Amino acid sequence: MNKTIVTGPPAAHSRSAVQLLAALEAAGKRNTAQRYAICRALEKHAADHPTVAEIYAAVRESFPMISQATVYNTLQTLKRLGVVIELDIANHDHIHYDLDVTPHVNVVCRHCENIADLHMRTVTSLIDEAAARSGFQIQRTAGLILYGVCPDCRRRRGDGRAAQEGEPQDA
Amino acid sequence: MNKTIVTGPPAAHSRSAVQLLAALEAAGKRNTAQRYAICRALEKHAADHPTVAEIYAAVRESFPMISQATVYNTLQTLKRLGVVIELDIANHDHIHYDLDVTPHVNVVCRHCENIADLHMRTVTSLIDEAAARSGFQIQRTAGLILYGVCPDCRRRRGDGRAAQEGEPQDA
DNA sequence: TTAGCTGCAAATAGTTTGCAGTTTT
DNA sequence: AAAACTGCAAACTATTTGCAGCTAA
Q: Which of residues 55-84 of A touch strand D (CB under 7 A)?
A: 63, 65-70, 73-74
Tell whether the torsion through CA atoms of B129, B133, B137 and B138 is positive or negative.
negative
Contact between residue A95 and residue A108 where contact means Cβ atoms under 8 Å apart: no
Provide CB contacts within 8 A for B118, sequence distance 6+: A130, A133, A134, B7, B8, B104, B105, B106, B107
Structure confidence by residue, pLDDT tens digits, A77-132: 999 999 999 999 999 999 999 999 999 999 999 999 999 999 999 999 999 999 99
pLDDT interval class at B124 (50, 70, 90): very high
Chain B nearest-CA residue for A5: B134
Contact between residue A170 and residue B105 where contact means Cβ atoms under 8 Å apart: no
CA–CA gap between residue A110 and residue A171 (Å, rounded): 9
B66 nearest nucleotide via C1' and CA: C7
DSSP category for residue B147: E
**Which H/E stretch holds residue B20?**
helix B17-26
Nearest CA to the C1' of C7 belongs to which residue? Answer: B67
Q: Across the interface, do B144 and A147 touch by the CB < 8 Å criterion?
A: no
Residues of B in contact with A73 (CB under 8 A): none
Contact between residue A2 and residue A112 where contact means Cβ atoms under 8 Å apart: yes
Q: Across the interface, do A88 and B86 touch by the CB < 8 Å criterion?
A: no
Q: Across the interface, do A137 and B129 touch by the CB < 8 Å criterion?
A: no
> pLDDT value at position B158?
66
A70 nearest nucleotide via C1' and CA: D6
**Which H/E stretch holds residue B73?**
helix B68-81
Cα dihedral A11, A14, A17, A22, rounded to 10, equals 160
3-state secondary structure chain A: CCCCCCCCCCCCCCCCHHHHHHHHHHCCCCCCHHHHHHHHHHHHCHHHCCEHHHHHHHHHHHCCCCCHHHHHHHHHHHHHHCCCEEECCCCCCCCEEECCCCCCEEEEECCCCCEEEECCHHHHHHHHHHHHHHCCEEEECCCEEEEEECHHHHHHHCCCCCCCCCCCCCC
Provide CB contacts within 8 A for B2, sequence distance 6+: B112, B114
Which range is least confidently modeled, A62-66, B68-72, B160-164? Answer: B160-164
Question: A33-44 and A17-26 helices cross at what angle (nearest 10)?
Answer: 140
Nearest CA to the C1' of D24 belongs to which residue? Answer: B30
CA–CA gap between residue B114 and residue B107 (Å, rounded): 8
Residues of B in contact with A100 (CB under 8 A): none
Q: Across the interface, do B83 and A167 touch by the CB < 8 Å criterion?
A: no
Cα dihedral B140, A150, A7, B91, rounded to 10, equals 40
Measured distance between the N- and C-terminal CA atoms of chain B, rounded to whole angstroms: 16
> pLDDT value at position A10?
52
Chain B nearest-CA residue for A84: B166
Q: Across the interface, do B144 and A145 touch by the CB < 8 Å criterion?
A: yes
Structure confidence by residue, pLDDT tens digits, A47-63: 999 999 999 999 999 99
B105 touches chain A (CB under 8 A): yes
CA–CA gap between residue B13 and residue B85 (Å, rounded): 13
Closest CA to B104 of B145, B73, B72: B145
17-46 of A, contacting B, C-beta below 8 A: none
Q: Across the interface, do B120 and A138 touch by the CB < 8 Å criterion?
A: no
CA–CA gap between residue A13 and residue B66 (Å, rounded): 49
A1 touches chain B (CB under 8 A): no
A52 touches chain B (CB under 8 A): no
Structure confidence by residue, pLDDT tens digits, A13-29: 999 999 999 999 999 99
Task: Name the 3-class secondary structure at B10.
Answer: coil
Which domains are seen in chain A, by residue range? 6-157 (1.10.10.10)
* Higher local confidence (pLDDT), B55 or B159: B55
> pLDDT value at position B12?
76
In strand C, the nucleotides that come within 7 Å of a protein beta carbon are 4-9, 13-18, 23-25
A67 nearest nucleotide via C1' and CA: D7
Q: Across the interface, do B130 and A120 touch by the CB < 8 Å criterion?
A: yes
Residues of B in contact with A22 (CB under 8 A): none
Closest CA to B61 of B45, B74, B82: B45
B75 has a pLDDT exceeding 50? yes
What's the predicted TM-score (pTM) here?
0.88
Closest CA to B110 of B156, B149, B158, B145: B149
Pick B90's closest partner by Cβ from A86, A147, A167.
A86
HSE at residue B4, side-chain half, CA atoms within 13 A, is: 8
